[in-house]
Structure 1
Amino acid sequence: MTSPLFPDVIVNGEIIPHKMVAAEAQHHIGPRGKPGIAWRKAAKAVAIRTLLLQQARAQKIEAHPEEVAPGQIETEEEALIRGLLRTAIDTPHPSEAEIRAEWERGPERFRSPPLWEVSHILIACDPRSDTARKKALARATKLTGLARDERNGFSALAARESDCGSKTSGGSLGQLGPGDTVPEFEAVLRNLNGGEVTETPVLTRHGYHVIRMDAVAESQVLPFGAVREKISDALEKTAWARQAQSFVGQLVADADIKGADLSVV
């Protein structure tokens, strides 16, 4: 018996099994205690996928699964939908004038990443252990005070006290950029000036760190030639997404869909 909260999803007469919607619902977020919201989002996603597959088969699209990531091959259904969209959507390359206009709309948006030359002292511990964390914090706090009092002695302090292999080079990690280290560590780097040492130890999954910013190369606005291809790709992807949305919208308008609210975000 169908629940009013979870009605059957029917797309052009094709009934979608409840287990398929339930499997999809695991990928959608809803407020705790309100499973109906995640279910409605899943019902919409499954209804649209079914509609696209129906269209692909009606047009006799052939599935040729491709590798989408190392060791990961598309399913036949994913290949069918890709083939359908490739047939239905023809996105022209943006013109040179459009690319330049997008750049001129805000050149400051296109910047080189910053580079940080960093040294640190690691006091290793398992952050999940209260005992180990407290012991490491006490040691890290003491070392922070020493590092801030005698900044010229940071390398020697790291060589003597650090639990990281970088101790052999005085704690130097060399040049780092965005994404090169764990988020908690990077967040601190973004707020340190050259020559500064962190005021308090920084906790990551590796333990506590005393961090010194040796030098900073700030991000710079890039010239048009350096970002032209990036802008062109972004404009083409935006145009493709707009056309795909329009294509799906037309399919939905022409379809008979029950049990799914296609307006759900």
Structure 2
Amino acid sequence: MTHSLKAGVAAVLAVLALAACGDKAPSGDVLVKVDGKAITAETLDWLLKEQVPAGTPIDDALRAKAREHLIQREVLLEAARKAGLDKDPAVKQRMDYIRDEQLVNAYIKDWLAKNPVSDDKVKAEYDKRTGESAQMEYHARHILVEKEDDAKAIIAKLDKGAKFADLAKASKDPGSAATGGDLGWADPATFVPEFAAALKSLEKGKYTAAPVKSQFGYHVILLEDTRKPSPPPLESIKAQLQQAMQQEALGNYIKELVGKAKLEEGKAAAAEPKPAASQ
């Protein structure tokens, strides 16, 4: 039996066991009978469809393995009944839960199929999100020193025409000293607050007129340029965005159903913790 079929044995046993407990005779062409219990070709086809990965060729060998699995399953089901496990309260409760869970999952799948998120809604959400996140990016350089007087001396040299990149070679920041203090393009939020505030107050091509103190020392900052970040193309995130919107819509629908439901607290409710109120 393939790995996928083996991995699904427990789930298939649980789900099909529920149907096997009923009184209805199986429909479809009989494939084989096990102690008088019919296994149909329809059941075998369903098993292959459910458990075999899409694109896997279904040949005679695979069908034979699936057939053998169904025979083993039927034998085990009969053995479980003879052992009285189908009457065990814990087993019955588990079987009832699995049955209902399958129905719930089927309903959710059906609801999602009937309530798709249109391309127009995805585009509108994309525009909204990219508009909200369109913070400016800054291309900056800086020179970091330990003492305020050293920073003031650097500013004085800049005022006299010294090149920022040349002075940055003495910076205490090993990551940018070798590149003329260049920090590249970045969101100000990635910097410490004092640095970010000073950077956003600068005009393009200007440097700070006074040293900027942070936990790392004293900075002299030059703003090279600003730009709006380019959002990822819609097509590259469309599927992910659509799925997120579907899940949000489903969550709202479930909340709506719960809100309409009549809830009556039982005696056991007093001992159970109450869910936290949603923010």
Greater share of residues in helix: 2
What TM-score do you get using the length of structure 2 for normalisation? 0.45
What TM-score do you get using the length of structure 1 for normalisation? 0.47
